[in-house]
Structure 1
Amino acid sequence: MMNRLVKSIVITVLSFFSVTMIAQENDKTNLWKIEGDEIKTSYLFGTMHLIPEKDFILKDKVKTAFDSSELLVLELDMSHPEFMEDMMAQAYLEPGTELKSFMDDSEYELLDNFLKEKTGIGMQMYNTMKPFMLMSVVLMASVDGPLASFEMTLMQMAKESDKQIKGLETIATQVGVFDATPYERQLDDLLDMIKNLDESTALFNTMAQLYISEDIDALYGYMDDYMNGDLEMMARFLDERNNNWIPEISKFSKEFSTFYGVGAAHLAGVQGVINLLRKAGYTVTPVMD
């Protein structure tokens, strides 16, 4: 079995799904309307950052909500001219440091062989990158068939309709979640994942099916069980970010009718965005088909 850190990284890289400790009864929908006295009507849409292309569909209710909004806000503003530069600045180890120094020769060989088999390029390409970048490569290489992205689709729609794009947090904030864990532990977990590849693939497929069903509480229940109630990991990867987003949502929606796209399970639970918005005084209602 993969340990809890691996599971957290899998979740964050692939889907940024968020879970909390107490389930709530929510309607089965990934789209929610946000209303309040001091804000313009906005929408909260739960995405899956990467999903098998065969399962990708953007429903009419989502398109309608998007069309009625003035601004697109994602977890990160990937359209910003400096985004790739910022990403690369966060993605690499300190100069003179290599991933190889954090593992023994047999572990390095295992990673090297896996990458060559799956991508045709070995560890020499990734030896100066932080482990989270390597994790994302391994995960994407492990999934059968082409993948689609709701974020990329929403960004293209925003471009075509001349909508601005903003972000709820910075790439430094997201990378900081990983940097809080020693590289040796991250690499140990990555190697463990490769040795148990069927389990991580099953996790991804299960999350995709739960996402398609739009049952955010079932997704919560699955992930809560899977994470074994690791409160510290949940707080760092998930809950703290949700809480940080609420004032940002308030700020954007005071000025614009905004369409928010965040990982789907950020929605559910006591520390989920839906409940936190309600605690902040906003009315959040499901948008059904």
Structure 2
Amino acid sequence: MNRLVKSILTTLLSFLSVTMISQENDNTNLWKIEGDEIKTSYLFGTMHLIPQKDFVLKDKVKRAFDSSALVVLELDMSDPGFMQDMMAHAYLEEGTELKSFMDDNEYELLDNFLKDKTGIGMQMYNTMKPFMLMSVILMGSVDEPLASFEVTLMQMAKESDKQIKGLETIATQVGVFDATPYERQLDDLLDMIKNLDESTALFNTMAQLYISEDIDALYDYMDDYMNGDMEMMARFLDDRNNNWIPEITKLSKEASTFYGVGAAHLAGDQGLIKLLRKAGYTVTPVMD
């Protein structure tokens, strides 16, 4: 499976065993952020989709959540206009179809796969952007119930009357995918279908890696699967991390905040933990 597929898979699945040569961070998905002029806040690494049987929201996470006044995710999915905005960015320009980026054999392969997994063929998805089609394929390919930390956190925030905000807009997140030509995205999507067992294994490995809370191993695993492609790592992780730091600073000055982002954003030289420390904040692991 090539690098773009791996990067998109890890993005869609929270950018989620591996033996490390060196261990920089403690094994935890939850970190406390403290510093001058900000209110104590928490950074929680999520996995956007995880098998229901593996889904656990630990007590330490619940305590951090309860002590926070504001909940911030990558996207504010509670916004009434969220789905409308998502749909506005999910489709190709008018008059453009995915079929024009593939030959007949490739189109037939996709059509048959979708009919088998979802009961609906390519005709329904022909104007959808490749990254959205990949989401459909991933959901249809997993033969077990899935859970989402983001959906759970959003529901908890609503039940406790906590305000919800997003670190970035849908347009920004979609732009990460749009920067790659559709032809290449479709080539990689077809490659994923042809190597579905490997895709499933990747998902299961990421889930186990996430459960272990070994954020350094998770980051190294992702880097290895993208063959050290620095441009891809920058686009999907590093650039976004750097863009989030000013937002985190601003929001944490206003209120004690619980941040929930994909766990692969935490570690690495350009990960949120190091970037927050570089910005002058104390970032410590929450172990229990």
TM-score, normalization by structure 1: 0.96
Answer whether contact 1:6 1:190 (CA < 8 A) is retained. Answer: yes
Aligned positions, number = 284
Q: Which residue of 1 aligns with 2:176?
A: 177
- Listed one character per residue, the Cα deviations across residues 40-82 of structure 1 (whole Å, up to 9, x for unaligned) are 0000000000000000000000000000000000000011111
Is residue 148 of structure 2 the alignment partner of residue 141 of structure 1? no
Answer whether contact 2:34 2:282 (CA < 8 A) is retained. Answer: yes
Matched residues in 2 for 1:224 and 1:14: separation? 15
**What is the CA distance between 1:227 and its match in structure 2?**
1.3
Matched residue SS, 1:97: coil
Specify the code of the residue in structure 2 equivalent to 1:184: E
Answer whether contact 1:23 1:221 (CA < 8 A) is retained. Answer: no
Answer whether contact 1:26 1:216 (CA < 8 A) is retained. Answer: yes
Answer whether contact 1:23 1:220 (CA < 8 A) is retained. Answer: no
Matched residues in 2 for 1:39 and 1:259: separation? 13
Q: Which residue of 2 aligns with 1:155?
A: 154
Matched residues in 2 for 1:23 and 1:233: separation? 23
Q: Which residue of 2 aligns with 1:233?
A: 232
Specify the code of the residue in structure 2 equivalent to 1:117: D
Q: Which residue of 1 aligns with 2:40?
A: 41
For 1:64-75, what aligned pairs fall within 5 Å after superposition? 64-75=63-74
Answer whether contact 1:24 1:270 (CA < 8 A) is retained. Answer: no
For 1:81-100, what aligned pairs fall within 5 Å after superposition? 81-100=80-99
Q: Which residue of 2 aligns with 1:253?
A: 252
- Structure 2: runs of 5+ lacking an equivalent: none
Q: Which aligned segments of 4 or more residues in structure 1 are displaced greater than 2 angstroms? A: none
Answer whether contact 2:15 2:222 (CA < 8 A) is retained. Answer: no
Answer whether contact 1:23 1:268 (CA < 8 A) is retained. Answer: no
Answer whether contact 1:23 1:270 (CA < 8 A) is retained. Answer: no
Distance 1:24 1:269, change over 3 A: farther
Matched residues in 2 for 1:263 and 1:164: separation? 20
Matched residue SS, 2:48: coil
For 1:274-285, what aligned pairs fall within 5 Å after superposition? 274-285=273-284
**What is the CA distance between 1:221 and its match in structure 2?**
2.0
**What is the CA distance between 1:125 and its match in structure 2?**
1.2
TM-score, normalization by structure 2: 0.97
Matched residues in 1 for 2:212 and 2:23: separation? 17
Matched residue SS, 1:57: coil
**What is the CA distance between 1:115 and its match in structure 2?**
0.6
Q: Which moved more, 1:220-229 or 1:25-34?
A: 220-229
Answer whether contact 2:72 2:257 (CA < 8 A) is retained. Answer: yes
Q: Which residue of 1 aligns with 2:4?
A: 5
**What is the CA distance between 1:283 and its match in structure 2?**
0.3
Matched residues in 1 for 2:51 and 2:124: separation? 26
Answer whether contact 1:76 1:167 (CA < 8 A) is retained. Answer: yes
- Structure 1: runs of 5+ lacking an equivalent: none
Answer whether contact 1:210 1:219 (CA < 8 A) is retained. Answer: yes
Q: Which residue of 2 aligns with 1:214?
A: 213
Matched residues in 1 for 2:267 and 2:22: separation? 7
Q: Which residue of 2 aligns with 1:14?
A: 13
Is residue 204 of structure 2 the alignment partner of residue 205 of structure 1? yes
Q: Which residue of 2 aligns with 1:55?
A: 54
Q: Which moved more, 1:122-131 or 1:23-32?
A: 23-32
Matched residue SS, 1:11: helix
Matched residues in 2 for 1:203 and 1:77: separation? 27
Answer whether contact 1:15 1:49 (CA < 8 A) is retained. Answer: yes
**What is the CA distance between 1:16 and its match in structure 2?**
3.8
Matched residues in 1 for 2:143 and 2:241: separation? 31
Specify the code of the residue in structure 2 equivalent to 1:78: M
Answer whether contact 1:177 1:237 (CA < 8 A) is retained. Answer: yes
**What is the CA distance between 1:23 and its match in structure 2?**
6.9
Matched residue SS, 2:94: coil
